[in-house]
Every structure is written in C-alpha cells, then in structure tokens.
Chains A and B, each alone.
Chain A
Amino acid sequence: QVQLQESGPGLVKPSETLSLTCSVSIDSFKRHYLNWIRQSPGRGLEWIGFIYNSGNTNYNPSLKSRVTISVDTSKNQFSLRLTSVSDADTAVYYCASGPGWTPHHWGQGTLLTVSS
C-alpha cells in the first residue's frame, strides 16, 4: 500500500519562502515520479513539478523561477521550496507519485495560507 503524507507550516507570510515535505512509503520510491500539485478555488488543480531518478526535475514554467523540488532518499522524503510567496499561492498542496507521469497515489493534502 503506497502512502504519502505532507507536512508543512500551514501559514506563511507574503514574500517569504514556503517549504513542504512529503514522506513516502513505497519500495519503488527511487523509481517513481514524485510530484507536487496544488489546488485552489481560483486556479483549480495546478501541477507544480516532479522529481525522478533521485535528481532529475521538471517544473511548470509558470512557477519555475520560484520552485525547487529535492529528494532525500535516505529518509524516503521529497520536498518543495517555493520562494517569494503571495496570496496567489494560498492553496491545498498535494504530493503525489506514480511509475510514470500520471500521479497514481496522492497524499491527503495540506492547506497553505499566505497571510501577514
């Protein structure tokens, strides 16, 4: 059974940096595409990016200048770093994984609010 669990601060101030972590319990962690996806009423479901093969990344061009996804294989975790956040970054953030580009397994999501 594949399980993913997001963790993060819940609240971030405008212009600061958001950091989220996803803990993954799958044997094939290293061979999966590990995604971050967010959802908000205004933007719907928005793919942020993924990391695979322990270091190769692919980011949404709309966020690429502010996003870094990294992985810690020793802890079966991967992380999202989003700089210079604004109100538009308020959303539920999901981590998701799959053997290919399609995310098969999703975490429960974590709400991130940007507010001063």
Chain B
Amino acid sequence: EIVLTQSPGTLSLSPGERVTLSCRASQSVGGNYLAWFQQKPGQAPRLLVDDGSSRATGIPDRFSGSGSGTDFTLTIDRLESEDFAMYYCGQFANSPLTFGQGTRLEIK
C-alpha cells in the first residue's frame, strides 16, 4: 500500500499570498496518477488536479500541480478567501487507492 504524507499539517496565510503544499509517497506513483482535492466543511472533496498536473474542469489557473515519482506539490497563487479549506492528495496508480491525511489552510 502506498502511504501518502502531506506537509505541513496546517498553514496560516493571508489572502493574496502564494502557498505550496507537499505530498510525499512511500513509493513511486506510477504514471503520476496523483490527484489533489479541496474540501470545505460539510462538503464532499472536489477534484482540483489530476495526473499530477492537469487541472480539472472549471478549476482556476491559480491552482497548479507538479511533481513526479514520490514528491508532488500543489501551488496556489494569489490566495482568495474561498481557498481556505482542507487539501488532500490521493494516489490512483496502485490498489488500494490511498489518500494523504490532509493539510488545513487557514486565514492568518
């Protein structure tokens, strides 16, 4: 089973800032089948980035994903108020499919 470790656990930032979230895998994620999700309280996760770097439909271009192998990042440029939420990575290369424990992005 691929274990995903996200860091940091919590980030406190201000609107307008740039943030980079990290997701590290215990073994290489084949095909870069690594995705990022945003989740707000009381809502389901929403797909932001698929295949490591492909933005999902309707996702603003201030969200970008990068990385390969075992190290992946999600960058959010120019934070807006609606971006403060939980963020999860997930790998979809190997069964069982697994998710990281999440990074909480909060307003400073």
Contact = CB atoms under 8 A, between A and B. Distances in A.
Contacts of A47: 96-99
Contacts of B90: 45, 102
A51 B56 CA distance: 23
Interface residues of B, number: 22
A93 B33 CA distance: 23
Contacts of A44: 88, 99-102
A104 to B, nearest CB: 5
Interface of A: 35, 44-47, 58, 60-62, 94, 96, 100-109
Counting from the closest, the 4 A-B pairs by CB-CB distance are A45-B99, A101-B92, A106-B44, A47-B97
A94 to B, nearest CB: 6
A46 B45 CA distance: 12
A61 B96 contact: yes
